[in-house]
């Protein structure tokens, strides 16, 4: 007889790293995984927010470290995973979440900006997943959770953001491709696609003159009539990181208040 259902969501004895873990969605993921029992490496390019988050986790009785990493740099990603292995000996869960968005008409987007968005939102997911999977394969078990977006499924309106949408669609198919490739190694690769979620990233955009006109237009298209909170996303990451989802791989959980239904 299998363990009781809630026990299969527990992450005791597991280790997790979360990129972009210093704020926003990534920070909420750190708390969710930590509260479920995992030791947490908070990875961020911003050392201050990574350390503050690690300290807040520690205060709650969760074992945590901060790692400063630019996830677009291969040598830094290799160092990131090595830091976890040196500290805890193994990596069970990799949550590849760091990302950025820019509103830009494609006709005026220069190639450098396109590359920057693709580099952070898609290239880094490959770099992190591959480097994490090398260690997971040694142990014969691993869980990778990538942050995609509802923008992987639809083209947002009224703002134009072809680079962002394309990068996130790439995350979905990379997730499926790696899932099929690594299933024989007992490594699951899944993604979460949030809808509009209240975080610093979105708040900054909404403060601009263009942004101020945006929110009511967005909410008209969200059947649930509100943005997500970061807490709305926490259950999915625990599910995908835990043994409860051991038969799920290559799948994407859309949490968008129904946006993609219309
Ligand atoms: N907020 C939303 O509405 C929303 C919706 C769908 C998907 N997402 C995705 O969720 C993820 C997190 O978004 P958020 O809203 O929490 O953003 P955020 O800006 O609040 O947090 C992003 C974090 O990533 C870190 N980061 C940026 N570049 C990095 C790099 N090169 N290396 C390491 N860390 C880096 C930042 O310092 C920051 O702490 C992103 O991938 C975003 O595309 C967000």
Residues designated catalytic:
149, 164, 168
Spell out the long-range contacts of 154-158 with Cβ–Cβ below 8 A and sequence spacing 24 or more: 154/259, 154/260, 157/217, 157/221, 158/214, 158/217
State how far the Cα of 53 lies from the Cα of 233, in Å rounded to an integer. Answer: 18
Of the chain, the percentage scoring pLDDT greater than 70 comes to 100
- Note the pLDDT tens digit of each residue in 95-148: 999 999 999 999 999 999 999 999 999 999 999 999 999 999 999 999 999 999
147 lines ligand 1 (CB under 6 A): yes
Q: 88 pLDDT exceeds 90?
A: yes
Domains recognised in the chain with CATH numbers: 5-198+230-251 (3.40.50.720)
DSSP H stretches of helix in 101-140: 111-118, 124-139
26 lines ligand 1 (CB under 6 A): yes
Compute, in angstroms, the gap from residue 151 CA to the centroid of ligand 1: 14
- Note the pLDDT tens digit of each residue in 52-74: 999 999 999 999 999 999 999 99
Compute, in angstroms, the gap from residue 102 CA to the centroid of ligand 1: 12
Atom of ligand 1 nearest to the CA of 26: 16
Of the chain, the percentage scoring pLDDT greater than 90 comes to 93
Continuous segment of H or E residues that includes residue 188: strand 187-194
**Number of Cβ atoms within 10 Å of the Cβ of 11:** 23
In the numeric block, which tokens belong to residue 136?
Answer: 């997971």
Continuous segment of H or E residues that includes residue 142: strand 142-147
């Amino acid at each position: 007889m299998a363990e009781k259902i809630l026990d299969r969501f527990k992450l005791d004895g597991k280790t997790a790293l979360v990129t972009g873990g210093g704020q926003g969605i990534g920070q909420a993921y750190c708390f969710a995984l930590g509260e479920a029992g995992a030791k947490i490496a908070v990875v961020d390019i911003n050392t201050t927010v990574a350390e503050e988050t690690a300290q807040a986790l520690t205060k709650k009785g969760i074992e945590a470290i901060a790692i400063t990493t630019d996830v677009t740099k291969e040598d830094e990603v290799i160092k990131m995973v090595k830091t976890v292995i040196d500290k805890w000996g193994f990596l069970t869960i990799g949550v590849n979440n760091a990302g950025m968005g820019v509103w830009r008409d494609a006709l005026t987007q220069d190639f450098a900006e396109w590359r920057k968005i693709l580099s952070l939102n898609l290239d880094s997911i490959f770099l992190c997943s591959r480097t994490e999977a090398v260690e997971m394969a040694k142990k014969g078990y691993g869980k990778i959770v990538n942050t995609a977006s509802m923008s992987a499924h639809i083209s947002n309106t009224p703002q134009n953001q072809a680079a962002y949408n394309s990068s996130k669609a790439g995350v979905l198919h990379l997730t499926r491709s790696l899932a099929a490739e690594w299933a024989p190694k007992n490594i699951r690769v899944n993604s979460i696609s949030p809808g509009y979620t209240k975080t610093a990233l979105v708040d900054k955009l909404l403060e601009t003159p263009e942004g101020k006109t945006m929110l009511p237009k967005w909410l008209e298209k969200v059947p649930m009539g509100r943005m997500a909170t970061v807490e709305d996303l926490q259950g999915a990451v625990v599910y995908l990181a835990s043994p409860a989802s051991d038969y799920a791989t290559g799948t994407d959980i859309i949490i968008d208040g129904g946006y993609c239904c219309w």
